Amino acid sequence: MNTGLKTDELNPYDVIVCGAGHAGCEAALAASRCGAEVLILTGNLDTVAQMSCNPAIGGQAKGQIVREIDALGGEMALNTDLSAIQFKLLNSSKGPAVQAPRAQCDKKAYQLRMKHVLELNENITTFQSIVDGLIIKKDKCVGVKTTLGINFYGKSIVVTTGTFLRALMHVGKEKAEGGRLGDHVAKGLSADFTEYGIELNRFKTGTPPRLLGRSINFEKTETQYGDKEPTKFAFYDTRNQEMFHVEQKGRWFHVEQSQPLPTVQCFTTRTTSQTAEIINKNLHLSPLYKGDISGTGPRYCPSVEDKIVRFGEKEGHRIYLEPEGINTDEWYVNGLSTSLPFDVQKDVVQSIPGLEQAIIIRPAYAVEYDYANPTQLTRSLESLKIESLFFAGQINGTSGYEEAAAQGLVAGINSARKALDQNPIIFGRDEGYIGVLIDDLVTKGTTEPYRMFTSRAEYRLLFNHTSSELRYLPKLQIINLVSRERKQAIVSKAKLINEWVLRMRTEKVYANDTYADLVKRGENEMVLPEDFRKLHKETRSEILYRVKYEGYLLRELKNIDRMKDSERIKIPKSFSYEDIPGLRKESAEKLSVIKPETLAQANRISGVNPSDISVLMILLAKSNTN
């Protein structure tokens, strides 16, 4: 139970989280679930869990991440379900491994609910103030300084400052400091990081203009409907709540009242040859092309000027019009991110069918910010340079709410465990996208804003979104992240699935055919036993997936076993790579910086080749037997 704001060095918090974006919120909540007393400091309490860009959660690989966050007791999934205004299962006609839930959210409802969750948590104190520096004693972080002149002390500190470090926004030649339009900048922390040897680099990202809905001619656009039956993100609606605050339906013509939940329509249109012409004519005014922005941007989320330059021959680029909420007439123009001057933005918008009369109510802009190279972290997301200092979210060079939230969850768990003298919990590449994300970041680093793709996961066939809670059951058995009842429910579900898979494989329907044979032949579910058809939709889908793709899944499991052999060979933190005969100098340098924790991790470092690994393997085998 928290006792109010504490500033006494002798009575520190267990965990202090700096920043209440997607990473910070999950970090604070996860740490509190692990039993830590948490202080979360944020520059602006009105922007807790703000979606800086697109008002949507999920999508390819990201949707699977959100379900993993939910499986581990995180809040993002439930918060999305309770503030979503359109659900869509992407790739619903393809195999389960690539199906991904996505939801359009009411942006304000999302923020307010997450803020409320923090406020209601008795282990968390929330306070608005900007963290300006670190308090370091003997290479260990013991607290933070704020611009209010107040110092706070913590056993672990988690930095989740997103795009705010030395952030500079650009609209044409106009520049302003701030991590987000209308928001603050964080300067002092960057100076401290540099002073304590943490390497910082620059990235940039951008966002499109927002339009006034009543100025859009929707008749000239194409309608995008959501799914009639929503695929929710949370496995269990633990709060048993109704939708959060979005039930007031306002004036909305695009709200389908007949749905059990309020859902909206989105719309699509396309850029035209006139759009391309305007952009080409004004390219010299784009800070990106003028050289005013030096940071690297997200390759997979390019600005519209980038798209026109790189894919000039393409006839029009698709633009999605997405409402920012039920109680606002503000529309997000997905696909039109730009940093061109405002008057050019206006011309660009009005060159698009349906937007001829559109009124911009917020300009598009780009933001440049500092990020800390993530190879300076361990797999628990603790700094290799400063003890008890953890990093999560966009500051680690990632892009996206889901990637940030996943890291927040991992840093939250491990910062709490560090504060409570417990061993770190490591998420493996074989367990899910969260493990792939963390391992990619700390092992390979990133030279452009990192976003998750299914192709980054070598065992992606096993990472279908319905199986997340089954995959993480072993972790849930050792960390207190979900209730005992929920754990029990997962154990029962796993048992039920195993029993059904076995029954389908062995029980004969016709002379030579088992149920599994029918499933593999793609026969209608009606041929399956009636008690099977009565199971919950997700349980049914998991059983069918395991039966249908049995051969492929077994092959993946064998690959994991092989990988685990080298994952078991640990490398001590103090291991010296200097002067090892046969180990190339370039590899030795990389290994000394990244300090891999296992031989498998060493093997994944780019530039470290199989002969280097053989040398290490012999050496480690020797030291293990001595």
What residues make contact with ligand FAD under the rule CB under 6 A? 18-24, 41-44, 47, 52-53, 130-131, 160-164, 179-180, 186, 189, 205-207, 301, 367, 393-394, 399-401, 404, 451
The distance of closest approach from Cβ of residue 21 to ligand FAD in the complex, given in angstroms and rounded to an integer, is 2
Of 3, 23, 88, the C-alpha closest to 381 is 23
Q: What angle do CA 564, 568, 572 make, to 5 degrees?
A: 145
- If the CB atoms of residues 392 and 613 are measured against ligand FAD, the closer one turns out to be 392
- If the CB atoms of residues 113 and 548 are measured against ligand FAD, the closer one turns out to be 113
The distance of closest approach from Cβ of residue 286 to ligand FAD in the complex, given in angstroms and rounded to an integer, is 15
- If the CB atoms of residues 74 and 162 are measured against ligand FAD, the closer one turns out to be 162
Q: Where are the alpha helices (DSSP H) in 335-483?
A: 342-350, 401-419, 433-444, 468-471, 473-478
Q: What angle do CA 585, 587, 592 make, to 5 degrees?
A: 95
Q: What's the 3-state SS for 47-91?
A: HCCCCCCCCEEECCCHHHHHHHHHHCCCCHHHHHHHHEEEEEEEC
H-helix or E-strand containing 366?
Answer: strand 365-372
The distance of closest approach from Cβ of residue 223 to ligand FAD in the complex, given in angstroms and rounded to an integer, is 24
- If the CB atoms of residues 339 and 464 are measured against ligand FAD, the closer one turns out to be 339
Q: Is 98 helix (H, G, I), strand (E, B) or coil?
A: helix
- If the CB atoms of residues 367 and 497 are measured against ligand FAD, the closer one turns out to be 367
- If the CB atoms of residues 407 and 466 are measured against ligand FAD, the closer one turns out to be 407
- If the CB atoms of residues 12 and 24 are measured against ligand FAD, the closer one turns out to be 24
Contact 461, 553 (CB under 8 A): yes
Of 330, 333, 360, the C-alpha closest to 345 is 360
- If the CB atoms of residues 205 and 378 are measured against ligand FAD, the closer one turns out to be 205
The distance of closest approach from Cβ of residue 54 to ligand FAD in the complex, given in angstroms and rounded to an integer, is 6
The distance of closest approach from Cβ of residue 387 to ligand FAD in the complex, given in angstroms and rounded to an integer, is 21
- If the CB atoms of residues 35 and 178 are measured against ligand FAD, the closer one turns out to be 178
- If the CB atoms of residues 380 and 394 are measured against ligand FAD, the closer one turns out to be 394
The distance of closest approach from Cβ of residue 47 to ligand FAD in the complex, given in angstroms and rounded to an integer, is 5
The distance of closest approach from Cβ of residue 402 to ligand FAD in the complex, given in angstroms and rounded to an integer, is 8
Of 164, 163, 181, the C-alpha closest to 339 is 181
d(CA 380, CA 601): 14
The distance of closest approach from Cβ of residue 445 to ligand FAD in the complex, given in angstroms and rounded to an integer, is 17
Alpha-carbon 243 to chain mean position: 23
Q: Where are the alpha helices (DSSP H) in 237-385?
A: 273-282, 287-290, 304-310, 342-350
Alpha-carbon 158 to chain mean position: 17
The distance of closest approach from Cβ of residue 518 to ligand FAD in the complex, given in angstroms and rounded to an integer, is 42
The distance of closest approach from Cβ of residue 593 to ligand FAD in the complex, given in angstroms and rounded to an integer, is 24
d(CA 580, CA 35): 44
- If the CB atoms of residues 132 and 542 are measured against ligand FAD, the closer one turns out to be 132
d(CA 561, CA 307): 43
Contact 165, 369 (CB under 8 A): yes
Of 3, 48, 43, 6, the C-alpha closest to 405 is 48
Angstrom CA distances, 493 to 89, 472, 502, 538, 542, stand at 23, 13, 14, 10, 10
The distance of closest approach from Cβ of residue 486 to ligand FAD in the complex, given in angstroms and rounded to an integer, is 26
Residues 6+ apart with CB under 8 A from 357: 215, 217, 350
